[in-house]
Structure 1
Amino acid sequence: MSRHLPALLLLLSLGSLQAEASSTYRCNSRLVSLDATTAEVRSKCGEPTSSSMVGYKEIIDEYGYRQEVSVEEWVYGPNHGMLHFLRFEGSRLRKIDSQRGN
């Protein structure tokens, strides 16, 4: 038996608790993708189960200008035992994570 086996088992068990990242989210029969606006997501998916203002993030646009944008996280679900976390930066969908609920 390898002496590294306990560490490997620990890493594998921790990995199963992490969220899965995706580039799309299916709500009802509609699909939203990264870069969608908050208005588009709300019109396709309805109101989230919960939402929170996470803070602000400084970004540099394609012209080199710095600006500060708001960061929000919306939660949908549970749907079939899954929670879906949508992160918006400056009213644009930037990250989609899914995680099995408790």
Structure 2
Amino acid sequence: MDRRVPATLLLCLLLVTLQAQASSTYRCNSRLVSLEATTAEVRSKCGEPSNAALVGYKEIVDDHGYQQEVPVEEWVYGPNNGMLHFLRFEGNRLRQITSERGN
């Protein structure tokens, strides 16, 4: 049996795991913001975004079982060292962090 295949698979899984962890926080200057942070917390730690847009609304069920519609916003920070950072908020809570190389 060739043992290189499982090692390659393990390496791929490790890289996917590291990538998922990298997208759960955003470093702005010397401060970190994590998923579930509020818009106020992100703004106080990172300042104003270079762009912010309301992209729509989403229906959610809150902790008490009530269905409600919340705003969905996308904030952009950067470019920082050639990277743009996109922070997606649902109901004023940070839900997603993605980055891509700017032009």
Residue range with higher mean Cα deviation, 43-52 or 54-63: 54-63
Shift of 1:65: 1.2
2:79 maps to which residue? 78
**Residue 89 of structure 1: aligned partner:** 90
Gaps of 5+ in 1: 1-19
CA distance in 2, matches of 1:93, 1:26: 14
The corresponding residue for 1:56 is: 57
Structure 1 length as normaliser, TM-score?
Answer: 0.78
Counterpart for residue 32 of structure 2:
31
Note the aligned Cα RMSD (angstroms).
1.3
Q: How big is the shift at 1:83? A: 0.1
CA distance in 2, matches of 1:100, 1:51: 18
Measured in 2, the distance between the counterparts of 1:47 and 1:61 equals 28
Q: Using the alignment, how far apart are the partners of 1:37 and 1:63 within structure 2?
A: 19
- Alignment correspondent of 1:9: none
- Whose RCO is larger (CA < 8 A, sep 6+)? 1
Q: CA deviation at 1:61?
A: 1.7
Residue 96 of structure 1 aligns to a residue whose secondary structure is strand
How big is the shift at 1:63? 2.5
Determine what percentage of the aligned residue pairs are the same residue: 80
Q: Does 1:101 align with 2:102?
A: yes
Higher helix share: 2
Could you state the TM-score of these two structures normalised by the residue count of structure 2? 0.77
Gap runs ≥5 in structure 2? 1-19
Please give the alpha-carbon distance, in whole angstroms, between the structure 2 residues aligned to 1:64 and 1:43.
31
